[in-house]
Amino acid sequence: MTKQIFSLTAVLLLAISTFGQTQKATLDVVVKNRSNERIPNDKITFIGQESRLEVVGITDVNGEFVVQLPAGDDYAIKVEMIGEELDYNTFGVPSPPPGAVFKPVTLEIIYELPTSFVLEDLYFESGQYSIKKKSYDGLNKLADYLVRKRVMNIRIEGYTDSDGSESSNQTLSANRSSAVKKYLVHKGVSANRIKTVGKGELDPIASNDTPDGKAKNRRTEIHIIE
C-alpha cells in the first residue's frame, strides 16, 4: 500500500507530584480528525525505543482510551490506517525523582484519514483475477481494519493498462475487484459494506507507453464511502 503523508499533533505535558511510588505515566489518549471529531475504533501502538515494549490501545466510542507507559524511555507513536501502521511522532517519558509520581495527562493525536488508497502489495496472475499468495498479508491487515471499523463502507475499483481490448480490460478489472471483495468477506467483513467496480483502462495515472507506466496503471484502489 502506498505511503500517505498525514499530519499528527501529539500534545504531552507530564506533571509530577511529590508523593507515591510509581514508574509509569498514565495517559488519557484522545484521537480526533481535523474537524475536532473523535475517532472510534482506532488502533494506536506505542513502541519503546530502548525497551522495544509495545503497548496497544483501541479507542472506544468516545475516541479515547487510557494507557500506562513505563518511565525512562522514548516512545514512537504508530497509528494503524487501512492495511498498515504509519509512524508519526516520538515523545519521552522521563524517570521521575525518588518518591514522585506522574499525574494523569492527556495525549491528543490529530490526523485526517484520506478517502482513497492504492493497494500496492496486491498481485494477480497475469491476465487473470486469481490473487497471488504473497498478497495475503496485506489483505489480511485490510480485513482486520475493516472488521474493527464496523461502520466504514468502501468501494473497490479495479484498473488495467491499455493492453488488450477495452471490453476485456473492463471485465478483467471488474473480476479483480470482485476477487478482493470475496477475500475480505471470507475474512469477516460484511458484504453489504463493500461495493466493487471495474474501470478497465480508464483514468490512467501514468503513461501506457512504458512497462513502468503500465505497471502503475494496473492497480486496485480502495475508496472510503459514506
pLDDT at residue 8 tops 70: no
Q: Would you list the domain boundaries of the chain? A: 16-110, 116-225
Sheet strand arrangement including 84-93: 54-58, 43-48, 73-81, 84-93
What average pLDDT does the chain have?
88
Average the pLDDT over each of 90-104, 137-151, 178-192, 203-217 and give the range with the smallest value: 90-104
Angle at 87 between CA 82 and CA 88, to 5 degrees: 110
Task: Read off the pTM.
Answer: 0.82
For the 116-225 domain, the top CATH level (class) is: alpha beta
On whether the CB atoms of residues 105 and 111 are closer than 8 A, the answer is: no
On whether the CB atoms of residues 11 and 110 are closer than 8 A, the answer is: no
Distance CA 129, CA 180 (A): 9
Q: What is the mean pLDDT of residues 57-85?
A: 92
pLDDT at residue 6 tops 90: no
In terms of pLDDT, which residue wins out, 23 or 138? 138
Distance CA 10, CA 135 (A): 33
pLDDT at residue 198 tops 60: yes
To the nearest 10 degrees (0 to 180), the angle between helices 166-186 and 136-148 is: 60
Distance CA 158, CA 194 (A): 13
Distance CA 135, CA 123 (A): 6
Q: For residue 4, what pLDDT band results from cuts at 50, 70 and 90?
A: very low
On whether the CB atoms of residues 196 and 181 are closer than 8 A, the answer is: yes
In terms of pLDDT, which residue wins out, 126 or 181? 181
Query: Percentage of the chain surpassing pLDDT 70?
Result: 89
CATH code that applies to domain 16-110: 2.60.40.1120
pLDDT, residue 23, reads: 83
Q: How many residues would you count in the chain?
A: 226
pLDDT, residue 14, reads: 42
Q: Which residues pair with 27 in a beta bridge?
A: 67, 105
Q: For residue 72, what pLDDT band results from cuts at 50, 70 and 90?
A: very high
Q: What is the mean pLDDT of residues 94-113?
A: 87
Distance CA 8, CA 183 (A): 32
